[in-house]
């Protein structure tokens, strides 16, 4: 059930240039949220910024009554967020979206590009808690932009990184690094989740049949309501029942998690 609530900032810290971690006290959302879900957040009184902005849940801490958001400062809204400090209040709508369903046993892999690592942390934590093996693959432009590496290490059997400048992983594609691990360690890989790069998500499509896993992508689209009401946040999904062969599904309500094979890229 969606809620519209106020949350209180516990801390905000800079984790990398232009990247912040925001810890918010909001027990009801922390209790209800599932990995892969997100919130609509508004942290400003400015009238020129109308809409709340969508952010994935980086960590969900029901016992502490907290949620964490890892975000990149991009435009006006995120710049305003970065100015808020401990004790200040934010407006939240959520938890939004369907979230993910973990397999009962076996292993999962997480492939995150840049800020795409954000929603994967909550998945890693839940999977580890359920006794699943987690393989994490992170890529970014350069070392300093690899996000959450230490946190991921806590929940993962392996964390493999790659940077575009070649300093890490020889700058190789995460899908290639994933294949390496599958070939070398043959984990019983059930599910792969990816976020942050359309190219990565597409690259997983042919690997599914070859290695017997199902891959899901966490999509982003511009949003207004985050509740399924405005039909503004759609993505194109295969739909054999329609004469066009596709239909538009709402990322905020039908996603944001979609099987990579169902998305029309």
Partner 1 sequence: MEQAGNRPAVNLKGQAGGVPFNPHHQETAPGVNLAVEIAGLRLANPVLPASGTFGFGAEYAPFVELNRLGAIVVKTITLHPTPGNPPPRLTETYSGLLNSIGLQNPGLEVFIREKLPYLRQFTPPLIVNIAGRTIGEYAELAARLSEAAGVDALEVNISCPNVREGGIVFGTVPAMAARVTAAVKGNTPLPVIVKLTPNVTDITVVARAVVEAGADALSLINTLQGMAIDIDTRRPALASVVGGLSGPAVKPVALYNVWRVARTVKVPLIGMGGIMTARDAIEFLLAGATAVAVGTASLVNPGALMAIIAGLEDYLLDQGLADIRDLIGALEI
Ligand X SMILES: Cc1cc2nc3c(=O)[nH]c(=O)nc-3n(C[C@H](O)[C@H](O)[C@H](O)COP(=O)(O)OP(=O)(O)OC[C@H]3O[C@@H](n4cnc5c(N)ncnc54)[C@H](O)[C@@H]3O)c2cc1C
Ligand Y SMILES: Cc1cc2nc3c(=O)[nH]c(=O)nc-3n(C[C@H](O)[C@H](O)[C@H](O)COP(=O)(O)O)c2cc1C
Interacting residues with ligand Y (CB under 6 A): 230, 232
CA pair distance 173, 167, nearest whole angstrom? 13
**Choice from 226, 235, 260, 263 touching ligand FES (CB under 6 A):** 226
Partner that binds at residue 6, options partner 1, ligand FES, ligand X, none, CB closer than 5 to 8 Å by kind: partner 1
Q: Which does 237 bind (CB under 5 to 8 A by kind): ligand FES, partner 1, ligand Y, none?
A: none
> In whole angstroms, what is the distance from residue 184 CA to residue 178 CA?
10
The stretch among 142-150, 178-186, 224-232, 240-248 that binds ligand FES (CB under 6 A) is 224-232
Q: Which residue, 7 or 196, is less far from partner 1 as judged by CB?
A: 7
CB 192 within 8 A of CB 6: no
Nearest distance from residue 4's CB to partner 1, in Å? 5
Is 231 a binding residue for ligand FES by CB under 6 A? The answer is yes
Which of ligand X, ligand FES, ligand Y, none does 74 bind, CB closer than 5 to 8 A by kind?
ligand X
Q: Residues 242, 246, 250, 255: what is their CA dihedral angle, to the nearest 10 degrees?
A: 110
Cβ pair 147, 195 in contact under 8 A: no
Residues of this chain that interact with ligand X (CB under 6 A) are: 38, 51, 53-56, 69-72, 74-78, 115, 118, 220-223, 256
Q: Please choose which of ligand X, ligand Y, ligand FES, none residue 78 contacts, taking the beta carbon within 5 to 8 angstroms, the exact cut-off set by kind.
A: ligand X
Q: Give the whole-angstrom CA distance, residue 264 versus residue 109.
A: 23
Cβ-based nearer residue to partner 1, 248 or 259: 248
d(C-alpha 69, C-alpha 58), whole Å: 5
Mode of pairing for the β-strands spanning 66-72 and 158-163: unpaired
Partners of 7 in the beta sheet?
A: 90
């Amino acid at each position: 059930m969606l809620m519209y609530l106020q949350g209180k900032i516990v801390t905000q810290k800079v984790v990398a240039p232009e990247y912040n971690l925001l810890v918010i006290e909001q027990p009801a959302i922390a209790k209800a949220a599932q990995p892969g879900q997100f919130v609509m957040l508004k942290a400003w009184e400015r009238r020129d910024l109308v809409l709340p902005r969508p952010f994935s849940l980086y960590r969900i801490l029901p016992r502490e009554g907290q949620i964490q958001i890892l975000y990149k400062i991009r435009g006006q809204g995120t710049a305003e967020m970065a100015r808020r400090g401990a004790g200040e209040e934010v407006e939240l709508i959520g938890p939004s979206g369907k979230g993910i369903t973990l397999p009962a046993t076996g292993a999962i892999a997480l492939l995150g590009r840049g800020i795409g690592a954000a929603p994967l942390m909550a998945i890693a934590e839940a999977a580890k808690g359920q006794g699943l093996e987690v393989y994490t693959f992170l890529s970014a432009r350069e070392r300093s932009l690899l996000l959450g590496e230490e946190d991921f290490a806590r929940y993962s059997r392996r964390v493999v990184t790659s940077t575009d400048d070649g300093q890490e992983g020889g700058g190789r594609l995460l899908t290639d690094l994933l294949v390496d691990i599958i070939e070398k360690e043959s984990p019983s890989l059930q599910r792969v989740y990816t976020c942050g790069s359309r190219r990565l998500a597409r690259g997983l499509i042919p690997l599914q049949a070859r290695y017997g896993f199902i891959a899901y992508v966490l999509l982003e689209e511009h949003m207004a309501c985050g509740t399924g009401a405005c039909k503004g946040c759609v993505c194109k999904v295969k739909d054999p029942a329609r004469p066009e062969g596709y239909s538009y599904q709402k990322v905020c309500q039908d996603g944001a998690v979609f099987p990579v094979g169902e998305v029309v890229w």
